[in-house]
Amino acid sequence: MTNNDILEKYYSFLLELQEKFGVNDDCMQMIYLELLQYNNKKLIELDNNNEMKYWIVRLVKNYWFSKNSRYYYTYKRYYDYFEKYANNDCEEEEY
């Protein structure tokens, strides 16, 4: 079983998590990439031990909520920065 097969097997579960946590598409793409690049033997072991869903949930939560994740440093901190200062600029223009 390849990493792609495992991703296909859990794809609907990943979509459910995306909807539940409100994860955006950029973050999900990074999660898919992580799954495809992860050690195949470990993924197969997780799947055989019925621990894959728990591992995926932890992966999604770490990427989406953590300020130390690759997603945060690549995208989210810039989104947060932009939103913070874009809202401040709009308030100042209302004079």
Contacts of 75 (CB under 8 A, 6+ apart): 26, 27
* Span of 18-27, 31-40, 63-72, 79-88 with lowest mean pLDDT: 79-88
| Tens-place pLDDT, residues 50-72 | 999 999 999 999 888 887 887 77
C-alpha distances (whole Å) from 36 to each of 1, 73, 78, 85 are 12, 20, 26, 36
Query: Model's pTM, two decimal places?
Result: 0.75
Position 82 pLDDT exceeds 70: no
Contacts of 66 (CB under 8 A, 6+ apart): 72
- CB atoms under 10 Å from CB of 64, counted, come to 21
